[in-house]
């Protein structure tokens, strides 16, 4: 727990973030970040497509402070959607509402999303709104509900460690949801702290969403959970086109290919961009084993 809290603290430390860019290649970030440019992300997506894997790309970014930065982030998302269409890769787009100005002006954020979704609709590309910490949850779901009045190809993520996760899943019946365990440090008042409880709630919301007839993106590297989902879907005659598995770029590559070879849709989440620091620290926080990425990078220099 000390290790997890330490890395979560670092993920939010702006001073260290500003100093960390030059360390990226040395602390192993390049093993889980697919470069810094749109072109590099497209190349990685094309490479993964060749192995039967589909993708979603996420231009990393946090700490947007003003309207111009939010608009720049939205413009970058639009350019990324255009690049996906031009390259012909099988790929979606993931983004965070704070990148688009959620903490600055809700209307600004909504307008940026509308512009992004209009481009996505033109190219027939799905857009995922990544879930952030608990303080942004209600605003994210409110904006999603508003957007879905005009656009079908937009969804979000629900984090299983939250006490309210099952209720949110029920309220989002019919929505394409990415189901995850959760990557932020939250208080016991709003989130489970015990791994066993989180895992149990995770399986519960997966099954709830599938039995509701809704599309589920099951994002986990846990082979035990993956096997249980496979068994559950077979027992309940849930077709393979109603769900997909998702994993992060750079993690359990062989298992990704194995799942795809079994005929399941396997989507790889590809993060890219200069602002990789917060994402990388949260990956280190999630599992102590992930620290080996950093140690391997340091010791190889």
In 3D, which of 13, 112, 38, 30 has the Cα closest to residue 69?
112
* Cα separation, 175 vs 62, whole angstroms: 26
Dihedral-angle region of residue 33 (phi above 0 means left; psi in -120 to 50 means alpha; beta otherwise): beta
Tell me whether residue 282 is one of the annotated catalytic residues: no
Catalytic residue among 110, 178, 267, 282: 178
Which pairs from 228-234 meet CB under 8 Å and 24+ separation?
228/203, 229/203, 230/264, 232/206, 232/207
* Cα separation, 269 vs 219, whole angstroms: 9
Catalytic residue among 130, 168, 199, 275: 130
294: Cβ contacts below 8 Å, ≥ 6 apart? 27, 28, 284
Tell me whether residue 178 is one of the annotated catalytic residues: yes
Catalytic positions are 130, 178
């Amino acid at each position: 727990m000390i290790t997890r809290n330490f890395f979560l603290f670092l993920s939010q430390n702006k001073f260290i973030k500003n100093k960390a860019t030059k360390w990226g290649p040395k602390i192993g970030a390049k093993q889980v970040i697919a470069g810094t440019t749109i072109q590099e992300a497209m190349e990685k997506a094309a490479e993964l497509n060749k192995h039967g894997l589909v993708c979603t790309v996420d231009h990393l970014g946090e700490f947007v402070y003003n309207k111009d930065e939010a608009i720049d982030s939205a413009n970058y998302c639009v350019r990324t959607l255009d690049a996906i269409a031009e390259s012909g890769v099988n790929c979606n787009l993931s983004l965070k509402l704070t990148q688009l100005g959620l903490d600055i002006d809700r209307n600004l954020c909504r307008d940026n999303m509308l512009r992004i979704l209009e481009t996505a609709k033109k190219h027939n590309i799905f857009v995922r709104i990544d879930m952030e910490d608990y303080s942004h949850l209600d605003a994210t779901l409110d904006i999603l509900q508003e957007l879905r009045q005009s656009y079908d190809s937009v969804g979000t993520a629900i984090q299983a460690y939250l006490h309210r996760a099952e209720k949110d899943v029920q309220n989002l019946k019919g929505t394409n949801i990415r189901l995850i365990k959760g990557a932020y440090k939250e208080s016991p008042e709003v989130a489970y702290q015990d791994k066993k409880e989180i895992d149990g709630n995770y399986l519960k919301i997966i099954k709830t969403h599938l039995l509701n007839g809704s599309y589920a993106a099951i994002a986990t590297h846990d082979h035990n959970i993956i096997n249980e989902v496979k068994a559950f879907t077979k027992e309940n005659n849930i077709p393979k086109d109603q769900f997909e598995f998702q994993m992060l770029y750079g993690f359990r590559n062989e298992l990704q290919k194995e799942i795809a070879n079994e005929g399941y849709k396997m989507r790889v989440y590809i993060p890219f961009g200069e602002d990789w620091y917060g994402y990388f620290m949260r990956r280190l926080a999630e599992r102590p084993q992930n620290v080996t990425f950093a140690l391997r990078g340091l010791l190889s220099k």
